[in-house]
Amino acid sequence: MKKLVLGISGGLSFLIFLILLITTNQIIGAQDTQQMARRWSKENDAAQVSCFFAADSETTEDTILMFEHGIDSALTEASVVQESENPGARLWADAYSADGKITLSNNKTSVTADAIGIGGDFFLFHPLTLINGAYFSGNDLMQDYCVIDKDAAWQLFGSYDVAGMTVYISGIPHIVTGVVERPEGRLAEAAGLEGTLVYVSLETLETLGTSYGINHYEIVMPDPVTGFAYNHVKENLGKEENATEVVENSARYSLLSRLKLIGQFGVRSMNGKGIIYPYWENMARGYEDILMILTLLQLLTLLYPVILLLIAFIIWWRHKGWTLRDVRLKAKDKLERLIERLRAARAVKKGTGEPFSGESLPKEKSSGKRFRRRKKRRRKTFEDDFEEIEDFL
């Protein structure tokens, strides 16, 4: 009975492990903001790196521009060149953003909302669920666009189908290019998504709204050797340890990173930097914690059946009733019989001998009753040993 309980518990534990494994992979796969490298390169030779700046770091668009100018030469030095035949193909893409507040109005009403001023290909990194319309880019010719969330669309127009409508920001008309679904849930709200959120160009936020300064930068670029992209960003944008933090998004959910995170338990929450994380980084960090727990559970649920299997194997090994010498002799016997049979068949074919009956060879002593006897004895001893283990557990 105990053996059955142990077997079932081991199986259940492994089942739970498999469920946890699938859940973990699903959670990782659902983190769109962290999967840019996979989307960017199917060959898995790119890395996504984020850099977060403290409020007093005074990062400007010129800082970013200077950094961007250095990327191509760094890639050339690393012998990374564009191989695509598509004339518009790029080796890397980046985005930067600033938090702030902005007031949108139309002829009827106005909404003051949290705003993210974007530059570069922000929505390439943050493919939010579009309910209507399209994204815009910081590289577009015009920068008088905005993407609003469902709340803002409802408050301003009473509808979600508002792509192409005009809103006024400090009297300047802006075109709503799209309406997005704002991530919801306990984590999202805790991450800073509890209120209405709109996305405008950085230029609009800085000139017509209240900007807290550029505090996030993201890039996806070739990673010819592990850590190349991370080190390049770290050396060129993240030199000031106290004012910046560099994260390699594409590696943050790997098994190694999760195991390292378990090792950092207790010290991970300590932060001496004046950095306010954006909502997507807060959520990513939240999921890091969740995944850390899941990984820990995975380890435990895998460890239990593995230990049981190991013990079972040891017991079976100890009471197996045969030795390697037995196996060798048996195999030798089989081989000799086979050779003898072949010889006899050849003799019959030539008409000079008789068919092989097997009686010419001596019978192996360890066959027949003797084996059965051993097996019976072994089963008995095996059961006894299991009882011993159950008592021990």
Partner 1 sequence: MDENARKKREWVKTAAIIFLSVMLVLTFFSNTIMNYSLPEVAIQYVQSGTVTAKIRGSGVVESGDPYNVEVKESRKVASVAVRVGDFVEKGDVILYLEDEESEELKTAQDALDQAWNAYEKALLSDATTAAALQISNSGTSVSTYRQQLTNAQKVVKDAQNRVDDLKEQADVLSNRISNMAGRDEDIRGLQEWVNNTLAAKNDADRNKKSAQSHLDALKGYQKQWENEMDYWSQLSVSSGNAGNTDKVAEAQNQIANLQRALEENQKAILDAEAALNEATIEFNNKEAEWTKATNALANETAVTKGDLERQLANVNEELTNANAVLKEKTDLLTEMTGALGQGLNLGEQMEAITKAQEKVDELTEKSIGATVTADISGTITALNVVAGNTTSAATPVAVMQPEGKGFSMSFSVTNEQAKRLAVGDRADLVNAWRFDDVEVVLASIKPDPNDPGQKKLLTFDVTGAVTAGQTLNISVGQKSANYDYIVPNNAIREDNNGKFILVVTSKSSPLGTRYVATRVDVEVLASDDNQSAVSSGMLTGYDPVITTSTKPVEAGKLVRLAENN
For partner 1, which residue of 56, 140, 161, 390 counts as binding (CB under 8 A)?
A: 140
- Name the minimum Å distance from CB 380 to partner 1: 27
Q: Which is nearer to partner 1, 16 or 28 (CB)?
A: 28
Residues linked to residue 200 through DSSP beta bridges, in sequence order: 117, 146
Of 181 and 336, which has the nearer Cβ to partner 1? Answer: 181
> What is the footprint of partner 1 within residues 312-341 (CB under 8 A)?
none
Q: Which of 210, 243, 244 is nearest to 99 (CA)?
A: 210
What is the DSSP secondary-structure string of 117-139? EEEESHHHH--PPEEEE----TT
Q: Nearest CA to 275 among 232, 219, 213? A: 213
Q: Does 209 bind partner 1 (CB under 8 A)?
A: no
Which residues inside 57-86 make contact with partner 1, applying CB under 8 A?
84-86
DSSP 273: S
Contact with partner 1 (CB under 8 A): which of 5, 22, 134, 309? Answer: 134
Contacts of 262 (CB under 8 A, 6+ apart): 292, 295, 296
Site for partner 1 in 86-125 (CB under 8 A): 86-91, 93, 121, 124
Locate 364 and state its tokens.
């192996």
Among 6, 46, 111, 251, which residue sits at the site for partner 1 (rule: CB under 8 A)?
Answer: 46
Shortest Å, Cβ 120 to partner 1: 12
Secondary structure class of 281 (helix, strand, coil): helix
127 binds partner 1 (CB under 8 A): yes
Which of 53, 96, 125, 135 is close enough to bind partner 1 by CB under 8 A?
Answer: 135
Residue in 175, 276, 306, 389 binding partner 1, rule: CB under 8 A: 175
Sign of CA dihedral 262, 188, 97, 47: positive
Question: What is the nearest approach in angstroms of partner 1 to the Cβ of residue 155?
Answer: 22
What value does the CA radius of gyration of the chain take, rounded to a whole number of Å? 34
Distance CA 59, CA 10 (A): 55
Q: Residue 144 and residue 207: Cα distance in Å, rounded?
A: 12
Size of the residue set binding partner 1 (CB under 8 A): 36
Residue in 145, 199, 228, 382 binding partner 1, rule: CB under 8 A? 145
Stretch that binds partner 1, among 173-181, 230-238, 312-320, 341-349 (CB under 8 A): 173-181
Taking CB under 8 A as the criterion, the residue among 10, 23, 27, 32 binding partner 1 is: 32
Beta carbon of residue 173, minimum distance to partner 1 (angstroms, whole number): 5
Cβ proximity to partner 1: between 63 and 381 the closer is: 63
Task: Answer for the pair 320, 385: CB distance below 8 angstroms, yes or no.
Answer: no
Distance CA 231, CA 237 (A): 10
- For β-strands 130-133 and 197-201, DSSP reports them as unpaired
Contact criterion met (CB below 8 Å) for 214 and 106:
no
Report the C-alpha gap between 106 and 148 in whole angstroms: 14
- Least CB distance from residue 349 to partner 1, whole Å? 49
Binding status of residue 130 toward partner 1 by CB under 8 A:
yes
**Residue 360 in contact with residue 353, Cβ under 8 Å?**
no
In angstroms, rounded to a whole number, what is the distance separating the alpha carbons of residues 233 and 248?
Answer: 10
CB closer to partner 1, 164 vs 368: 164
Of 23, 31, 41, 105, the residue at the interface with partner 1 (CB under 8 A) is: 41
Applying CB under 8 A, the span of 172-180, 263-271, 287-295, 318-326 interacting with partner 1 comes to: 172-180
Nearer to partner 1, 124 or 297 (CB): 124
Please report, as ranges, the residues that interact with partner 1 according to CB under 8 A.
32, 39-42, 46, 84-91, 93, 121, 124, 127, 130, 133-135, 140-142, 144-145, 164, 166, 171-173, 175, 177-178, 222
